[in-house]
Amino acid sequence: MGKETKNLVLEVSSGIVIFTVAAMLVALIVYPKPSVFAGLLLGMVLALAMFFSMAEVLDRSMKTEDSKTVQKRTVISSVIRYVVLFAVLVIVVVWFPDQVNAVALVIGVLGLKAGAYLQPVIHRIVSRGKKEE
């Protein structure tokens, strides 16, 4: 991965973590149960894992010249990501409903979207900090 790509990955990852912290602060006020915090943390871990998987697949795809290979690789990796996500959600709902809140887990996974939306803001803040140095 190039330097710009690594910075982008760090910025989106930071956005995921910021979203999770904000969700935990809201949960602390609205519904302060340990299962909610466990769900948010597990959701954050899944969001980060999914994002790193996407970044790695896209990085490899950019280096591959065969478009059919790229298409197969991206579709297979996307299906695997969602199957793993669905499997974790089913396991949580079936075996650990008291320890991990499934709704909080889904909200934590949505941190992936929030991280993508927060990336430009985080990039501006980081760029401003680098210019001042």
Q: What is the pLDDT of residues 32-42, one digit of tens each?
A: 999 999 999 99
Q: What is the mean predicted confidence (pLDDT) over 48-61?
A: 90
Amino acid 27: pLDDT: 95
Task: Kindly indicate the confidence band of residue 128, based on its pLDDT and cuts at 50, 70 and 90.
Answer: confident
Task: Identify which of 23, 67, 63, 57 has the alpha carbon closest to the alpha carbon of residue 41.
Answer: 23
Rounded to whole angstroms, the Cα distance separating 15 from 20 reads: 9
